[in-house]
Structure 1
Amino acid sequence: MTLIIEWFLSGINEVWYYMTNHFLTCILPAFFIAGAIAMFLSKNAVLKYFGAQTKKYISYSIGSVSGILLAVCSCTIIPLFAGIYKRGAGLGPAIAFLYSGPAINLLAITLTSSVLGWQMGLARIIGAVVFAIVIGLLMSLIFPEEHKQDSNLFSGQQEQEKSKKAVAGFFALLIGILFFGTLDYSFVSNTPIAAVFGTSESTFTSTPIVELVVKYTILIALIIVVSIVTKRLFDKEERQGWVDETFGLMKLIFPMLLLGVFIAGVIKVAIPSEVITSLVGSNSLAANFIAAIFGMLMYFSTLTEIPILESFMDLGMGQGPALSLLLAGPALSLPNLLSIRNVLGTKKTAVYAGLVIVMATIAGMFFGAIVS
């Protein structure tokens, strides 16, 4: 009974941490971006770059690197993916975008190289781009049926005849909120603003308070600008449509996302890290496969996979399994899979997860053989 309570509390703590640390500055902005894609972005604009009829070298190239500037986790990418997919994107390019978002963002690549070494950072970049393209192509081959727009999810949409520059600026502001909401603000320790909270006039001190002040000052300013732009660019009916689309997506995705976060929290205490590291200390097929499966089961918020992986490697985790986890973990998680299932269905979701696991296992074995 005590063990069950411990597991339950761990799941609740994970949900609490997730809600308090990521909802306002990460998940919610992502849902508003997805709603805006559904309401304001011309279907022709989506089809131009991600459509099933777009030349593959264009759609897959853009999809595979589109995550570089989006510092998002495996759950935050879901509403963005759902937005472009339901708006008419081809399955393959949309899947490439789905994988690349959390796997190759610029902050994660930089921190990986800094903490785990340039070899791991380079392997992550190459692996993420190749995975995004190959998995997207395989998904489009396995499920070649014609893509159909879900009229129930985005009902009442109308093509908006707005200035392309104005709409592009509007989306840039929304992405800016997402970017600055997930940015690491420890760099303020080297700026004059930190001196306001420092211990002395000559010392710049970065504290959580300083970082929060800088962070929310930027976010509030961006939100004010977005509010002004939205009011001038769109009429009342369009603004209401944006809200409706946003919360329609939230009702579809968010409940399953929270359930997955809870389950991931239970797994953290149900499976001791010592057991995991004892199974992935070599570069065998089994070790790489277990690492990839473990990455799939766990939820890693943006950048948290790096310190967790560092601790596993300190305990004896091999280089190959480490890369397997790094390529599978950020792109997959229980919340991610449960949410994707609501968008793609069980069969497509299972195939997508299987492709990621298989490719992560192979990549880990290859990398482990090279660096050993």
Structure 2
Amino acid sequence: MSQLKPTLHEQQSSKTKAFWFIVSFLVIAIVGLLYIKWWPYYQKGMLAADTHSIGTSILGDQSSATLSWKSAWDYAQVYFLSVWKAAILGILLSSLVQVLLPTQWLLKWLGKTSFGSTFVGGLASIPGMMCTCCSAPVAVGLRKKNVSVGAALAFWIGNPTINPATLVFMTFVLSWKFTLIRLFFGLILTFGISYLANRFVKDKQPIDIDQIITDNEPTGNFLSRWLKSLGNMVLFIVPAYVLSVLLIGAARVWLFPQIDSSANGLIAIIIFAIAGMLFVIPTAAEIPIIQTFMSLGLGGGPAAALLLTLPAISLPSLILVAKSFPKRVLFFVVGSVVILGIVSGLVGTIFL
């Protein structure tokens, strides 16, 4: 039996409801980001301009670090104290993406494998300014709404790599050369690699928005749907997140051995590119890490490799999004981050 065509009144009511759902999501996102990101980063920007520093390296004293669960716990404590507010906001926004934002609206802007959808996803990441693990839940929520791989990746990767606040801090603390290198390769990673990742998806078909039926939208009252979405995000994301951060925190003594003046060749660039890709840090933490490492003798090449790979992705964030993207896409992203990190390091060898 064919479905009855909605009346004009029902169509108008549905559009009005969708409009207020979108407005509600934007208000929640803006208030959350203002409190957790924008205002603190404004203050940190003033600090960076005055002192040419935004704090000490989150890695602490690597010379006394040992491979142990105490080392893992110590790092996890410092890390989660830095990101817990943003992590909660990321999980909250992920659940709200699934229940507030209309599927038709999302697919219209982010559902295609065209560069346009990837571009919109990358632009949407700019005000977020989250680290890779805090933006990962939102990317998961977008994929649950069938947003294209390219658009979801651009949002996930763009948050940490083209973060405007980090670029400002970097200019004051490191130099404008670091900022230009980061911006150049960050744009390639966010928009170029994300767009190319669409080619790794099987059976990719252009979405015909006109064929999407509003009856496919989830049914049930808003509160029950939101609590179910939030519960699923917390249940599946938080345990994996905590355990992976503990694991990578314990391994930091291997990933970042003691620095000396010999750690400046191509081999060092490759090692630091891989280590940076695996390691997990809060937003902008790459700046004091690089600042500290260079004071100990690290050259511009390995520093430039870390500049891109440290914030872009991490082992914990890859675990968080593992079920939302095809494996071949994630392998492509991992390889691309490492390769671009190495190229960034080679550029840094010449210009830094």
TM-score relative to the length of structure 1: 0.69
Which amino acid in 1 is paired with 2:155?
F
Classify 1:31/1:147 alpha carbon distance in 2 versus 1 (closer, same or farther; 3 Å): farther
1:158 and 2:217 are equivalent in the alignment: yes
8 Å CA contact retained: 1:40, 1:159: no
Shift of 1:16: 2.6
* Deviations, residues 22-61 of structure 1 (Å, cap 9, x unaligned): 22x11111111011100110112211221125x42x2222
**Counterparts of 2:241 and 2:123 in 1: how far apart (Å)?**
25
1:14 and 2:75 are equivalent in the alignment: yes
1:309 and 2:290 are equivalent in the alignment: yes
1:338 and 2:319 are equivalent in the alignment: yes
Please give the root-mean-square deviation of Cα atoms over the aligned residues, in Å: 2.7
Classify 1:5/1:133 alpha carbon distance in 2 versus 1 (closer, same or farther; 3 Å): closer
8 Å CA contact retained: 2:185, 2:340: no
Match of 2:133 in 1: 75
Match of 1:267 in 2: 251
Q: Which runs of 4+ in 1 moved over 4 A?
A: 3-6
Which amino acid in 1 is paired with 2:75?
E
1:110 and 2:164 are equivalent in the alignment: no
8 Å CA contact retained: 2:149, 2:325: no
Q: Report % sequence identity.
A: 24
Which amino acid in 2 is paired with 1:259?
L
8 Å CA contact retained: 1:96, 1:136: yes
Match of 1:43 in 2: 103
8 Å CA contact retained: 1:88, 1:147: no
Match of 1:64 in 2: 122
Deviates more, 1:335-344 or 1:104-113: 335-344
* Residue segments in structure 2 that go unaligned for 5+ positions in a row: 1-63, 208-214
**Counterparts of 2:279 and 2:243 in 1: how far apart (Å)?**
13
Matching of residues 1-372 of structure 1 within 5 Å: 7-23=68-84, 25-52=85-112, 55-56=114-115, 58-146=116-204, 158=217, 237-270=221-254, 273-275=257-259, 280-282=263-265, 284=266, 286-369=267-350, 371=351
Count, aligned residues: 282
**Counterparts of 1:296 and 1:110 in 2: how far apart (Å)?**
22
TM-score relative to the length of structure 2: 0.73
**Counterparts of 2:201 and 2:320 in 1: how far apart (Å)?**
19
Shift of 1:268: 2.5
Classify 1:82/1:251 alpha carbon distance in 2 versus 1 (closer, same or farther; 3 Å): same
* Deviations, residues 136-158 of structure 1 (Å, cap 9, x unaligned): 12211122433799xxxxxx983
Classify 1:71/1:273 alpha carbon distance in 2 versus 1 (closer, same or farther; 3 Å): same
SS in structure 2 of the partner of residue 356 of structure 1: helix
* Residue segments in structure 1 that go unaligned for 5+ positions in a row: 150-155, 161-235
Classify 1:116/1:85 alpha carbon distance in 2 versus 1 (closer, same or farther; 3 Å): same
